[in-house]
């Protein structure tokens, strides 16, 4: 009982926080009014990307933000595959993003205007960086460079990118780097429309190299310098016209380019980085919110760390939650995320989100998922698998059962402190309700009502496989 109270208090805290902190959220929603704009989701679908842009150094896939569910939720999604020794060119977007590194590792740069160039690279720093020196002919003090922080990213990392912030990503690893990005278009930081807009600061794609999966727009996508007259740029920057022309140039190599030679960036040792992710340093951050300035804000969190799991069951699986209490910058971005792993045949409790829309991306395995609308209509009943993406709208109840190989997913949420309401189990509606009320509501006996109150009583969201599913799975295997 004591434990129960403690858990209850902890859970209350989360619930309470979600209201208290709402005041600090950047989350601001618009509402639809005309027929065309309503969230009339008779059927929710697993959506494949609608556009695919092949570049020299990788592939960019875009989900169509005009799809019914995406539009209702006001979200967008992009998947980038960056080949080894390739660079996703610098760009900024019109809405805040959460980027999940699905595979590989590399460097990621994010540039805030006005932050100091706090990384000093010197020629003696590393053998790799000296290798490049040969090319630095003509530079004043050859071999020296100062720039803003460059981050090391790896599989499992979630990175927060504020709206309008320039970012780039370089794959220095041996395998393809795959990054899945979630944009919250209906965020207050985006005062434009609900279109995904990426503004490139270099590169560009010739129209013929873009392959439309569904027939949509095919404008030229070139870098922003193309919008300015060459000599105007040259004068503004006090540079030769030829260099200004070079900047504007649409590169046939596209949005992701293969680099002439391997790049290496100064980063602190990996061990130190790990250290800074210890619970102690994080606690320090909580007390300050943004530490000193946005320039030093933590924007990165690894979602794969098992010892940091927020829900954990030896029989059912685990869930890592990333919210504003873990990563304070989320407080100002109005988003959060969750990464989960269900063991084979385990289930995720029937529940609805009280606070946000969710975009689910399947990383591994399979699951059967059912979603209901407010009228009790089944709007989704699919077996989802790797690479699938779908929306679960706010207030829509959902239920999931992992397949034979288990189920691993990442969920992006449009709230910085989300709250879920489960139907059964430890913190559920069934347990909260007086017994008599269950009896009268469902016209059942006291015994049945007690069965509902007691079912899965020790579990919250993750249910171990039931005996029936185990036998079913056995029979299937047979």
Q: Which of residues 96-125 bind a second copy (CB under 8 A)?
A: 109, 111-117, 119, 121
Q: Give the span between the Cα atoms of 428 and 426, in whole angstroms.
A: 6
Stretch that binds a second copy, among 70-78, 151-159, 277-285, 309-317 (CB under 8 A): 70-78
Q: Collapsing DSSP states into helix, strand and coil, what is residue 175?
A: coil
Q: Give the span between the Cα atoms of 382 and 400, in whole angstroms.
A: 10
> Applying CB under 8 A, does 160 fall inside the site for a second copy?
no
> Applying CB under 8 A, does 73 fall inside the site for a second copy?
yes
Comparing CB distances to a second copy, the nearer of 16 and 270 is: 16
Least separation in angstroms between residue 141's CB and a second copy is 9
Comparing CB distances to a second copy, the nearer of 281 and 436 is: 436
Least separation in angstroms between residue 178's CB and a second copy is 21
> Applying CB under 8 A, does 130 fall inside the site for a second copy?
no
Stretch that binds a second copy, among 174-182, 193-201, 299-307, 311-319 (CB under 8 A): 193-201
Q: Give the span between the Cα atoms of 3 and 133, in whole angstroms.
A: 62
Stretch that binds a second copy, among 173-181, 276-284, 302-310, 465-473 (CB under 8 A): 465-473
> Applying CB under 8 A, does 212 fall inside the site for a second copy?
no
> Applying CB under 8 A, does 312 fall inside the site for a second copy?
no
100, 182, 200, 361: which one contacts a second copy (CB under 8 A)? 200
> Applying CB under 8 A, does 311 fall inside the site for a second copy?
no
> Applying CB under 8 A, does 452 fall inside the site for a second copy?
yes
Q: Which of residues 356-375 bind a second copy (CB under 8 A)?
A: 356-357, 368, 370-375
Q: Give the span between the Cα atoms of 336 and 182, in whole angstroms.
A: 11
List all residues 6 or more positions away from 342 whose beta carbon is below 8 Å from its beta carbon: 316, 317, 348, 365, 367, 400, 402, 406, 407, 408, 462
Q: How far apart are the first and last CA of the chain?
A: 43
Q: Give the span between the Cα atoms of 357 and 335, in whole angstroms.
A: 10
> Applying CB under 8 A, does 228 fall inside the site for a second copy?
yes
> Applying CB under 8 A, does 29 fall inside the site for a second copy?
yes
49, 106, 162, 340: which one contacts a second copy (CB under 8 A)? 162
Stretch that binds a second copy, among 306-314, 317-325, 335-343, 421-429 (CB under 8 A): 421-429
| Range list of β-strands (E), 265-316 | 300-302, 311-313
> Applying CB under 8 A, does 429 fall inside the site for a second copy?
yes
Least separation in angstroms between residue 254's CB and a second copy is 12
> Applying CB under 8 A, does 313 fall inside the site for a second copy?
no
What is the torsion angle, in degrees rounded to the nearest 10, for the CA atoms of residue 344, residue 345, residue 346 and residue 351? 130
Comparing CB distances to a second copy, the nearer of 103 and 469 is: 469
290, 311, 312, 364: which one contacts a second copy (CB under 8 A)? 290
Q: Which of residues 327-356 bind a second copy (CB under 8 A)?
A: 329, 331-332, 347, 349-350, 352-356
Least separation in angstroms between residue 215's CB and a second copy is 16
> Applying CB under 8 A, does 302 fall inside the site for a second copy?
no
Buried b / exposed e across 58-92, counting CB within 10 Å, b at 16+?
bbbbbbbbebbbbbbbbbbbbbbbbbbbbbbbbbb
> Applying CB under 8 A, does 50 fall inside the site for a second copy?
no
Q: Where is 430: in which H helix or E strand?
A: helix 429-432
Q: Give the span between the Cα atoms of 441 and 45, in whole angstroms.
A: 33
Tell me the CB-side half-sphere exposure of residue 110, using CA atoms within 13 A: 23
Comparing CB distances to a second copy, the nearer of 270 and 442 is: 442
| Residue 418 main-chain phi, psi, to 5 deg | -70, 155
Stretch that binds a second copy, among 97-105, 171-179, 308-316, 446-454 (CB under 8 A): 446-454
* Contact between residue 421 and residue 363 where contact means Cβ atoms under 8 Å apart: no
List all residues 6 or more positions away from 165 whose beta carbon is below 8 Å from its beta carbon: 92, 110, 111, 112
């Amino acid at each position: 009982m004591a434990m129960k109270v403690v858990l209850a208090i902890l859970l209350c805290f989360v619930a309470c926080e979600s209201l208290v902190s709402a005041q600090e959220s950047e989350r601001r929603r618009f509402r639809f009014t005309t027929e065309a704009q309503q969230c009339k989701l008779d059927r929710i679908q697993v959506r494949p990307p609608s556009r695919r842009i092949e570049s020299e150094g990788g592939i960019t896939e875009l989900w169509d933000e005009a799809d019914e569910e995406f539009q209702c939720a006001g979200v967008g999604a992009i998947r980038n595959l960056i080949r080894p020794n390739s660079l996703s060119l610098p760009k900024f977007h019109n809405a805040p993003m959460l980027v999940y590194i699905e595979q590989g590792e590399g460097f990621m740069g994010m540039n805030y205007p006005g932050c100091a160039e706090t990384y000093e690279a010197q020629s003696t720093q590393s053998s790799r960086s000296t290798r490049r020196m040969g090319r630095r002919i003509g530079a004043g003090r050859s071999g020296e460079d100062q720039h803003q922080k460059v981050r090391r990213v790896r599989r499992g990392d979630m990175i927060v990118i504020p709206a309008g912030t320039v970012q780039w990503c370089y794959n220095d690893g041996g395998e393809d780097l795959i990054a899945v990005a979630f944009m919250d278009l209906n965020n207050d930081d985006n005062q434009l429309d609900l279109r995904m807009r990426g503004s490139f600061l270099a590169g560009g794609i010739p129209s013929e190299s873009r392959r439309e999966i569904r027939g949509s727009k095919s404008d030229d996508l070139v870098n922003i310098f193309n919008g300015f007259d060459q000599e105007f740029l040259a004068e503004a920057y006090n540079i030769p016209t030829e260099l200004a022309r070079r900047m504007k140039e649409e590169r046939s190599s596209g949005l992701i380019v293969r680099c002439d030679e391997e790049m290496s960036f100064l980063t602190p040792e990996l061990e130190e980085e790990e250290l800074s992710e210890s619970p102690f340093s994080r606690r320090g951050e909580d007390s300050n919110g943004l530490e000193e300035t946005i320039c030093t804000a933590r924007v990165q969190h690894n979602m794969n760390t098992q010892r940091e799991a927020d829900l954990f069951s030896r029989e059912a699986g685990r869930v890592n939650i990333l919210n504003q209490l873990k990563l304070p910058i989320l407080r100002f971005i109005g988003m959060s995320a969750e990464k989960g792993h269900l063991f084979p045949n385990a289930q995720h409790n029937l529940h609805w989100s009280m606070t946000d829309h969710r975009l689910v991306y399947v990383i591994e395995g399979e699951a059967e998922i059912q979603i209901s609308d407010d009228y009790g209509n089944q709007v989704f009943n699919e077996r989802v698998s790797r690479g699938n993406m779908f929306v679960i709208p706010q207030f829509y109840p959902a239920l999931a059962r992992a397949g034979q190989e288990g189920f691993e997913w990442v969920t992006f949420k449009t709230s910085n402190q989300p709250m879920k309401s489960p139907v059964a189990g430890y913190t559920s509606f069934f347990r909260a309700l007086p017994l008599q009320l269950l009896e009268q509501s469902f016209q059942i006996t006291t015994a049945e009502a007690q069965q509902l109150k007691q079912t899965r009583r020790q579990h919250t969201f993750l249910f171990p496989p039931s005996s029936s599913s185990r036998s079913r799975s056995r029979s299937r295997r047979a």
